[in-house]
Amino acid sequence: MSKKELLIAALSRKRVSFSKGWYKFSRNPLSVLGLVILLLIIVVAVFAPYIAPFPEHAGAFTNFRKSSLPPSLNHFFGTDTVGRDVFSRVIFGYRFSLILAVVVLGLSIPPGVILGLIGGYYQRTRIEIAIMRITDIFLAVPPLVLALAITVMLSPNLFNQMMAISLMWWPWYCRLVYAITTSLRYEYFVREAELTGASKAHILLREILPNCAAPILTKMTLDAGFVITVGASLSFIGLGVQPPKPGLGTMVADGAKRLPAEWWMAVFPALAIVMVILSFNLVGDGLRDMFAVEEV
Amino acid sequence: MGKYIIQRLLQSIVVLFGLSLLIFFIARVMPGDPARVALGSLATKEQVENLRKEMHLDKPFPVQYYFWITSVLRGDLGTSLYTRRPVTTDLKAYIPATLELILFSFLMSLVIGQVMGVLAGYFRNSWFDGLSRLISYVGVATPAFVMAIFLLLVFTYVLNLTPAVGRLSLGAPPPPKITSFIILDSLIAGEFATALQALRHIVLPAASLAVANIAQEGRITRTSIAENLQKDYVMAHVVYGIPTASTIFKYLLRPSLIPTVSVMGLAFAYQLSYAFLVELVFMWPGFSRYAVTVMLNKDLNAIVAVVLVIGLAFSVVNVIVDIVVSFLDPRVRLQRVGG
């Protein structure tokens, strides 16, 4: 490659400006809709104590005179068997779902990314083999199964649920980053950094990592929905947020026992789960269009 | 080709070995003494000590693992502490029901997904395409257990079309056991009423599992059909006057088959885990419901066995998918063997 070609290559790698990115993202109205719903859910969840009409209903509150009321203007989603406002409980349930997604992704992405970088950089060495085989082992079972087994053995609560899911999640990022790193390993910018004596940390974190940012961000958004699904599934069996705190999955499980007459107890929390996952997926799709990320 | 298959099999064996090590390690590291759990709180110290010796719990971890893995390889998965039966007996009793459910749901998603994808691709940007896109978005975003609740509410409670629980109505005699798949068995025995009943029982749980796959598969097929419709060879078919249907089924479906097989294979294996909750909702007497029950009862032997069985199923499916894909797409086969 001549100097001129190198210069052109460097210039074309400039970051996509924000307005251009937004243009691409907003060309799909569904992505924008997803973003709006998602932001709404986040705001509602963060400010739950101020927004929920009956914030005290998110705990061990009972009022049997108002139990099992159908949806009305007072109680948008009706009340449950002990008279708690389902709408307020859904809002607080969102809190736990979002905390779960944030903690799981926060705990699992950094180790996954770092192992992926190392595995991809040290190609054809024992380091690569060790890392990738361990990754394969974790990917040999659907995350729900091992997360379930681990949560049960530890004793069921939100904290252990988070730990168990995080333990199952890092391999996905390891594999993603590994694939990108392998493809970049012998690119000129990496070799040049090696020749100029840059440290391994610099090469991995400053040269290679930025190229993984877009796929990681996209996968993160799509995964948030997936993590919430796994979390809701675990709490559906009673292995998540413990009552009286409201978990969306737990609410669906409790409500399912009251079908069909008191349908609102299961249907609204269930719709709430679909809504948050759907909005994460729509935003993820938009990001994929924006970065033009290829599936790995 | 043979070399590729052998390579692929060896790889799965290594992964399964690793998985057994991982799950055994997790089961032993967890707080609580398995012998004490097995005997209950009333057992004396001596009894616990004896059982610990019997279970090799007094030996170091590698020795424990050696004893355990050798008996697993002989087909002995230990005794379930919850059902008090050998775990292998339990598995044999429960796996057919789940297999029937998953296979049925797989067929369902294959047929509906393909039809939806072809129609949406052929009539792209029509109202049907829009509808199928909507179904896809919602289908992918709805967890299987949520879908199960919705379907149960609509089809069983509101429309009263399908029964709520089980594989057959209460008290109905099951057909003679041949394949352990009730629908097949009753067809073989010529009991069409029983087959119909079993069909009505399986539709909702299978659909709950299938919706996400239908969504995914429909999109893949649609994209592929829509892309290939623009190609010159399709134009040539039109010019030659070849019927549209034969163009679609003979030529357009094939390129969409490769991504479909990869995605569906993985989805098939994942259904084993999503079936966990769907079987609970519909009281389906299968492996997944057994899995949840033993897990909630901290039945260590059974938990380890369940995870291993799912891992085994997962790798078998993955190997089959890889082999099928390499048959469909020579590029994969040649590239892997060459490299």
The reply to whether A15 falls in a domain is: no
B:119-138 residues touching chain A, CB 8 A cutoff: 137-138
- Work out the pLDDT band at B339, boundaries 50, 70, 90: very low
CB contacts of A252 in chain B (<8 Å) are: 145-146, 149
Averaged pLDDT of chain A: 87
Residues B201-217, mean pLDDT to the nearest whole number:
90
For the cut 70, the answer to whether the pLDDT of residue B338 exceeds it is: no
B residues 11-30 near A, CB within 8 Å?
11, 14-16, 18-19, 22-23, 26-27, 30
Beta bridge partners of B86: B79
Q: How far apart are CA B116 and CA A250, in angstroms?
A: 34
DSSP H or E stretch at residue B198: helix B192-229
pLDDT of residue B192: 81
Which pLDDT does position B227 carry in this prediction?
A: 81
Question: Residue A66: inside a domain, yes or no?
Answer: no
Output the pLDDT for position A293. Answer: 54
Amino acid letter for position B280: L
DSSP state for residue B86 in the 8-state scheme: B
The parent domain of residue A190 ranges over 40-52+76-295
Instruction: Specify the pLDDT at position A105.
Output: 95
Instruction: Please report which confidence band the pLDDT of residue B124 belongs to, taking 50, 70 and 90 as the band edges.
Output: confident
ipTM: 0.83
Give me the helix-helix angle, B192-229 and B144-151, nearest 10°. Answer: 120
Q: What is the 3-state secondary structure (H, E, C) of chain A?
A: CCHHHHHHHHHHCCCCCHHHHHHHHHCCHHHHHHHHHHHHHHHHHHCHHHHCCCHHHHCCCCCHHHCCCCCCCCCCCCECCCCCEHHHHHHHHHHHHHHHHHHHHHHHHHHHHHHHHHHHHCCCCHHHHHHHHHHHHHCCCCHHHHHHHHHHHHCCCHHHHHHHHHHHHHHHHHHHHHHHHHHHCCCHHHHHHHHCCCCHHHHHHHHHHHHHHHHHHHHHHHHHHHHHHHHHHHHHCCCCCCCCCCCHHHHHHHHHCCCCCCCHHHHHHHHHHHHHHHHHHHHHHHHHHHHCCCCC
What radius of gyration do chain B's Cα atoms show?
Answer: 24
Question: For residue B314, which residues of chain A lie inside 8 Å, CB to CB?
Answer: 140-142
Those residues whose C-beta lies under 8 Å from the C-beta of residue B17, and which sit 6 or more positions away, are none
Tell me: pLDDT of B231 over 70: yes
Phi-psi label, residue A238: left if phi above 0, alpha if psi -120 to 50, beta otherwise: left
Alpha carbon separation from A98 to A210, A239, A250, A284, B274 (Å, rounded): 26, 17, 15, 16, 21
Q: Residue A283: which CATH number?
A: 1.10.3720.10
Q: What distance in Å separates the CA atoms of residue A175 and residue B335, rounded to the nearest whole number?
A: 20
- Report chain A residues whose CB lies below 8 A from the CB of B137: 30, 278, 281-282
B78-114 pLDDT per residue, tens:
888 778 888 888 888 888 888 889 889 988 988 899 8
Quote the pTM value. Answer: 0.86
pLDDT band at B159 (very low <50, low <70, confident <90, very high): confident
Query: Per the structure block, which two tokens stand in for B308?
Result: 């291993």
B225/B5 Cα distance (integer angstroms): 31
Q: Is it the case that residue A161 has pLDDT exceeding 80?
A: yes
Model pLDDT, residue B337: 47
Residue A80 included in any domain: yes
Q: Answer yes or no: is A1 within a domain.
A: no
Which of A66-80, A168-182, B160-174 reaches the highest mean pLDDT? A168-182
More confident position, A130 or B31 = A130
Q: Is residue A183 assigned to a domain?
A: yes
B233 compared with A271, residue with greater pLDDT: A271
| pLDDT of residue A233 exceeding 60 | yes
Give domain status of residue A198, yes or no: yes
Mutate to test the interface with B, among A33, A145, A278 (most CBs of B within 10 A): A145
Inside any domain, residue A18: no
Interval B165-181 mean pLDDT: 76
The predicted model gives A259-274 an average pLDDT of: 91
Helices A264-291 and A248-256: crossing angle in degrees, nearest 10, is: 140
SS3 B79: strand
Q: Does any CB of chain A come closer than 8 Å to the CB of residue B298?
A: yes
Is there a contact between A133 and B14 if contact means CB atoms under 8 Å apart? yes
User: For a pLDDT cut of 70, what percent of chain B falls above it?
Assistant: 93
Is residue A295 over pLDDT 50? no
pLDDT digits (tens, 9 = 90+) for B11-36: 888 888 888 888 888 877 766 666 77
Tokens linked to A147:
């997360």
pLDDT of residue B319: 84
B153, B296, B298: residue with CB nearest A267 = B153
At residue B176, the pLDDT reads 77
Percentage of residues of chain B with pLDDT beyond 90:
7
Q: What is the DSSP string of B9-40?
A: HHHHHHHHHHHHHHHHHHHHHSSS-HHHHHH-
Is A68 a member of any domain?
Answer: no
Provide the pLDDT for residue B82.
78
Domains: count for chain A: 1
Give residue A58's pLDDT.
Answer: 85
pLDDT, tens digit, 9 for 90 and up, residues B22-80:
888 887 776 666 677 667 777 777 887 887 777 777 778 888 888 888 888 888 888 88
- How high is the mean pLDDT of chain B? 82
